[in-house]
Amino acid sequence: MASDIKASVLHGARDLRVEARQLSKPASDEVQVAVQMTGLCGSDLHYFRHFRNGTIEVREPITLGHESAGTVVAVGEGSSSAKSLKVGDRVALEVGLPCEVCDLCRGGRYNICRGMSFRSSAKAFPHAQGTLQDRINHPARWCHKLPDTLSLEHGALVEPLSVAIHARNRAGLKSGSTVLILGAGTVGLLCAAVSKVAGAKTVVIADILEDRVKFAVDNGFADAAFTVPISNPRPETVEDKLAYAQDLAEKLKSLRAKGGADVVGEANVTFECTGVESCMQAAIYATKPGGKVMIIGMGMPVQTLPIMAASLKEVDLVGVFRYANAYREAIELLASGNKVLPDVLKLVTHRFRGLSDVPGAFDTAAKVKDEKGDLVIKVMVDMSEWITPFIQDR
């Protein structure tokens, strides 16, 4: 029997409405999860502001949200895959659903499966509806149980943390490395965090926002920080753009870590988290011979890059798209009590409650600072308050 739920539904740019939906009983391989915590992501924000994300256009009303955690309230009948979870278990939701039969899936790279359906993304049609709704039915195998020591906010942060872990794993980051992070948003800060856990000697972070890089150093995410100056006038020609990027790279290499006497020099691995052309160019110039540039930021789709500089230094340009086989590792890291890991909950700067507050949450997520002048990093929507009695009644 179907039950009534409510969902936040995007009908156009900035047009969010709370609407009623019908939710069926979970299928045999599914569990039904009361969604209690959802972090807002940059892709969600693009859809909210423009009703598209880059070249991906929304073609039907869509519920956003994919960084989520909640509590199991029903288990599908007759399935062994669902028996690992029971009503009352708290789970982090891995919301990408690959085909699981193609060569990529069988090879463990399901994140780039051509048949991937990802909640809150308009890439596939019909769109896979996101998690900003009361409850969802989701395959049990993509629901990861949270230990009692972790909060639901930890559970929602598992998604962006998995992006960082996947990037670090693809980088093959070695202990003693020098790491450069371009972009001090949530993913950039988490890339810095997992680099420190991996034993990086020095982590440098750069951003155009001084408050963000200060946050990174003050809270143990990075050892050195640089505020990228905005060029005025902006470079227009290819030559001027590359000259600007080279100058930026030299400034980054000449930094000194907090309390250190030596300059940091070139990076073994650079995590490019902005998608900005000048940052991709600077990443190549700032990375040492034989190093890697991890392409994480989803920005300009077509860019002019100094390929000869990358080739002569054998700098690998490595694509990173979401994550694969990283959720369990992320949960174990958060629960480990690793003293090198910074307090990731400090990334959550703003909290909103309930579906009616979702528009305000998106408005805040679109800002660099809130109306009080406080830095905005990660915005969470908390629906625990009204869901808790529902869970207890089960």
pLDDT digits (tens, 9 = 90+) for 249-265: 999 999 988 767 688 99
**Could you say which of 3.30.465.10, 3.40.50.2300, 3.90.180.10, 3.90.76.10 is the CATH number of the domain covering 3-145+343-393?**
3.90.180.10
* Residue 156, pLDDT above cutoff 80: yes
Which residue(s) pair with 57 in the sheet?
52
CATH superfamily name and code, 164-319: NAD(P)-binding Rossmann-like Domain (3.40.50.720)
* Residue 328, pLDDT above cutoff 80: yes
Nearest to 203 by CA among 161, 252, 160: 252
pLDDT value of residue 81 = 57
Measured between alpha carbons, how far is residue 244 from residues 59, 152, 189, 204, 355 in Å?
A: 40, 43, 24, 19, 45
Determine which helix (DSSP H) or strand (DSSP E) holds 361, and give its type and residue range. Answer: helix 358-365
Is 378 in contact with 37 (CB distance < 8 Å)? no
pLDDT value of residue 391 = 61
Work out the average pLDDT over 353-375: 96
| Boundaries of every domain in the chain | 3-145+343-393, 164-319
Whose structure tokens read 């009644």?
393
pLDDT digits (tens, 9 = 90+) for 381-392: 999 876 666 665
pTM > 0.85? yes
Nearest to 150 by CA among 332, 376, 305: 332
- pLDDT band at residue 233 using 50, 70 and 90 as cut-offs: confident
Distance of CA 68 to the CA centre of its chain: 11
Per mean pLDDT, which range of 41-45, 59-63, 74-78 is the poorest? 74-78
Beta-strand ranges (E) seen in 223-332 are 224-227, 267-272, 287-295, 316-319
* Residue 393, pLDDT above cutoff 70: no
Beta carbons within 8 Å of 234's beta carbon, 6+ residues apart: none
